Amino acid sequence: MDTIPNNAERISYLVVFHVFLTMFIWSYWTAIGSKPAGPSKAFSLPSAEKELYEREEQAETQQEILKRVARNLPVYTRTAGGAIRYCDHCQLIKPDRCHHCSTCEMCVLKMDHHCPWVNNCVGFSNYKYFILFLAYASLYCVVICATVIKYFIKFWTKQLPDTHAKFHILFLFFVAALFFISILSLLSYHLWLVGKNRTTIEAFRAPVFTNGPDKSGFSLGFRRNVAEVFGSEAKYWIFPVFSSLGDGHSFVTRSVHIDPEQANSILQQNGKSQSPADGEAHPVRTADDSKEKTDGGQTVSVTMESEP
């Protein structure tokens, strides 16, 4: 006797199952296969300054060299001690929210963490894919539990014959339920981070701006925060295709705001910044694009500071 005797029920289960399986595999492979985005050449030291930096032994003088170069870059975050963030391994000034991944051996734009589940560094280029992977994994488990629970109860209450299918049903239900609970907790945490416009690194260590540390420094309101990761067009949100806003090199903050044309011209003069989506430079977004208000309730203005 078949466990599911109704053909219409079988077909509906198979269709729903394979839809979520397809989306799960698609998002998983895009999260695995997307190369982490690194800083453009604009953030590398010019040859003359690089030679001076490498010859110099005093940290204070090295910082002065970095400050001169950073004046021409849209960089506004600092180390905990207030110094320019410089990567000695990659030999470049780190853009805001960029961190060096020791596993990938490169600086990653808007780095969140290095994930062993996808064997890749999660950052600006694939953070949306990673969240969709968690979301579809959770929904995949929900579909399995929802289609199995009726027969799980029937076997448990001895309404169906005691066959080998009983063990398979029980095992499938418990495994799917356990995976759902574990994945849902991770998904909930990352959705909370998206709503706050924080990375995992920033959640544990607040970014330091010129006016001090601010854990919510990049938060521009829930809707704007979500759009920064998933994009401004909702029709692309459920698909693992690149739709995140910006170029990953500069970000609108609540305290420092960048003129998009000036910032892009600076980056293109020193080395064209590329988007992981299509390899072309994208304009830096500012809060004036939609005249919205930030979390603090103050209208964001656009200025370019002469000092880093």
Q: Which residues are catalytic?
A: 115
- Asked if residue 130 and residue 117 are part of one domain, the reply reads no
Is 266 domain-assigned?
A: no
- Asked if residue 107 and residue 201 are part of one domain, the reply reads no
**Inter-residue contact 228 to 112 (CB < 8 Å):** no
Is 142 domain-assigned?
A: yes
Q: How high is the mean pLDDT of the chain?
A: 82
**Inter-residue contact 264 to 276 (CB < 8 Å):** no
* pLDDT at res. 75: 92
- Phi-psi bin for 297: left (phi > 0), alpha (psi -120 to 50), beta? left
- Asked if residue 173 and residue 61 are part of one domain, the reply reads no
- Phi-psi bin for 284: left (phi > 0), alpha (psi -120 to 50), beta? beta
Specify the long-range contacts of residues 301-304, CB closer than 8 Å, at least 24 apart.
301/257, 302/257, 302/258, 302/259, 303/257, 303/259, 304/258, 304/259, 304/262, 304/263
Is 169 domain-assigned?
A: yes
Final residue belonging to a domain, choices 188, 215, 236: 236
Range of the domain at 216: 7-36+125-236
* pLDDT at res. 6: 74
Residue 8, beta-bridge partner list: none
What is the pTM for the complete model shown?
0.79
Q: Closest by alpha carbon to 97, among 167, 24, 38, 180? A: 38
Is 288 domain-assigned?
A: no
Distance CA 95, CA 78 (A): 10
- Asked if residue 160 and residue 218 are part of one domain, the reply reads yes
- Asked if residue 150 and residue 218 are part of one domain, the reply reads yes
Is 60 domain-assigned?
A: yes
Final residue belonging to a domain, choices 72, 103, 122: 122
Is 285 domain-assigned?
A: no
- Asked if residue 202 and residue 142 are part of one domain, the reply reads yes
- Asked if residue 28 and residue 141 are part of one domain, the reply reads yes
Q: How many domains is the chain built from?
A: 2
- Asked if residue 211 and residue 84 are part of one domain, the reply reads no
- Asked if residue 189 and residue 88 are part of one domain, the reply reads no
- Asked if residue 65 and residue 143 are part of one domain, the reply reads no
With H, G, I as helix, E, B as strand and everything else as coil, classify residue 258: coil
- Asked if residue 174 and residue 91 are part of one domain, the reply reads no
Q: What is the pLDDT of residues 48-107, one digit of tens each?
A: 999 999 998 888 999 999 999 999 899 999 999 999 999 999 999 999 999 999 999 999
Q: What is the pLDDT of residues 282-305, one digit of tens each?
A: 333 333 333 333 333 333 333 333
Final residue belonging to a domain, choices 102, 122, 142: 122
Q: What is the pLDDT of residues 10-31, one digit of tens each?
A: 888 889 999 999 999 999 999 9
- Asked if residue 83 and residue 65 are part of one domain, the reply reads yes
The alpha carbon torsion through 124, 129, 130, 134 (nearest 10 deg) reads 150
Is 294 domain-assigned?
A: no
Is 306 domain-assigned?
A: no
